[in-house]
Amino acid sequence: MQEILFLLLPIAFYSGWQAARKRYKERQEKRKEISVRFVRGINFLLSEEPDKALDVFLNYPEIDENTANTFLLLGNLFRNRGEINRALRIHQNLVARSDLSKAQRMSAMLALGEDFFAAGMLDRAESVFTELLKDDPKRADACEPLRNIYEQLHEWDKAIEITQCAQQRNKADHSRLIAHYYCELATQELQRQNLFKAEETIQKAAKASPASARVIVLKADLAYARGQRSEALQIYQQAIGKDSRLLGMLFNQLLNNFEKRDELENLYAFIQKTFAKTQDAKLFAYLLQLARKLGKLTDMRTQVEEHLTKGKPSLNTLVHSTEVLASLWREESACEIGQIQTALQKLAASQPDFQCEHCGYKMHGYLWRCPACHQWDTVSNV
């Protein structure tokens, strides 16, 4: 009996070899067919027939790691070209496939969420990214898009929560952003006259970013809302001292809120002091406006003359300076037109002479081709 079995061995070996050979041949043929499909899809793409290419890729029989990555990139390419519908079709098809690994599915979902975001479908994008985070609470790449969504929706509470999570996950410092979100919430509370809640929120913002100038402005807003006028004015000045750009944002508000003579004098003295320290031309324009309000235009004579001849006059400071000179002229029947001329010459020299009619880019010298939008023959005189 054992001998018969021994004799049957070569036959069993031969039939096993035949079956393996057949399977190998089938696999080879399938692989060949898949390669042909892939090349056909790429050819459609290269010949600018993206819909035909999409049909080939969406009906692709089997996906391995390489093809999954290629499809993912292809979808991203469509999205970057603004062809969101095509990107959505590719990424939705990928997510729905059963032959993807977990990591591939996650990447496809991330891309799908970005497609929804680019298409402005924020609620669908939010649910995709939230699901991703639920699946893997440690991943940080879903936090940033979620933060963008909540920013666009003005859902500041959720924006704070997701930014705090992101901060823990990727160890990056987002405290400035968190402070801005708290400031948005505090502004809402101030508008609703919920002063206690506003104070609480401002404290949270200050804790997130103690150096934030916006937090100081909100503290001043709160003091003003409570009727603490002199304290409010002092805090506003503290904010402007920290960041002089804030004067531009706050100037009209300050003029409206602090209309008493002593308050305006206080503000005038503060801006004088800050201007003397920084020589910031933007401050000078506001200083002249305040001087006019206080009837002190003629006191500004020396400063105006210095600014026009030695400073860096802007169109704005020039407008207000000529007002000072005009008032002097009315008083003394004399006007130094030479100073205005010098200032105007300086200003004109600093302005670009040419502008692109296509994109608005300004330049000092003429160019045949715009360096910003690369269009030809679009540059002309301003």
Binding Zn ion (rule: CB under 5 A), the pick from 29, 373, 376, 380 is 373
In eight-state DSSP terms, residue 358 is T
> Contact at 8 Å (CB) between 239 and 270?
no
Contact between 300 and Zn ion by CB under 5 A: the answer reads: no
Contact between 72 and Zn ion by CB under 5 A: the answer reads: no
Binding Zn ion (rule: CB under 5 A), the pick from 109, 267, 285, 370 is 370
**C-alpha–C-alpha distance, residues 76 and 22, integer Å:** 39
- Token pair belonging to 45: 């793409």
- To Zn ion, the closest distance from the beta carbon of 355 in angstroms equals 9
The mark string for 307-346 relative to Zn ion (x by CB under 5 A, - otherwise) is: ----------------------------------------
Q: Can you tell me whether residue 316 is helix, strand or coil?
A: helix
The gap between the terminal CA atoms of the chain, to the nearest Å, is: 106
Cβ-based nearer residue to Zn ion, 14 or 376? 376
In eight-state DSSP terms, residue 138 is T
- To Zn ion, the closest distance from the beta carbon of 370 in angstroms equals 3
Contact between 371 and Zn ion by CB under 5 A: the answer reads: no
Contact between 359 and Zn ion by CB under 5 A: the answer reads: yes
Binding Zn ion (rule: CB under 5 A), the pick from 45, 146, 218, 356 is 356
**C-alpha–C-alpha distance, residues 7 and 363, integer Å:** 93
Beta bridge partners of 355: 362, 380
- To Zn ion, the closest distance from the beta carbon of 367 in angstroms equals 10
- To Zn ion, the closest distance from the beta carbon of 382 in angstroms equals 13
Contact between 361 and Zn ion by CB under 5 A: the answer reads: yes
Question: Please, which of residues 19-38 interact with Zn ion by CB under 5 A?
Answer: none
Binding Zn ion (rule: CB under 5 A), the pick from 164, 305, 358, 367 is 358
**C-alpha–C-alpha distance, residues 324 and 78, integer Å:** 59
Contact between 355 and Zn ion by CB under 5 A: the answer reads: no
C-alpha to C-alpha distances, 129 to 123, 142, 183, 232, nearest whole angstrom: 10, 6, 26, 43
- Within a 10 A sphere around the Cβ of 175, how many other Cβ atoms? 18
Interacting span for Zn ion (CB under 5 A) from 123-131, 187-195, 308-316, 361-369: 361-369
Biggest CA pair distance of the chain: 136
Contact between 379 and Zn ion by CB under 5 A: the answer reads: no
- To Zn ion, the closest distance from the beta carbon of 369 in angstroms equals 9
Interacting span for Zn ion (CB under 5 A) from 107-115, 302-310, 344-352, 367-375: 367-375
- To Zn ion, the closest distance from the beta carbon of 163 in angstroms equals 37
Contacts for 250 with CB less than 8 Å, ≥ 6 apart? 217, 236, 239, 240
The distance from CA 192 to its chain's CA centroid, rounded to whole angstroms, is 28
- Within a 10 A sphere around the Cβ of 346, how many other Cβ atoms? 15
Cβ-based nearer residue to Zn ion, 55 or 357? 357
In eight-state DSSP terms, residue 24 is H
Cβ-based nearer residue to Zn ion, 226 or 369? 369
Q: Can you tell me whether residue 381 is helix, strand or coil?
A: strand
User: Which residue is listed with tokens 């061995």?
Assistant: 9
- To Zn ion, the closest distance from the beta carbon of 57 in angstroms equals 37
Which residues contribute to the site for Zn ion (CB under 5 A)?
356, 358-359, 361, 370, 372-373
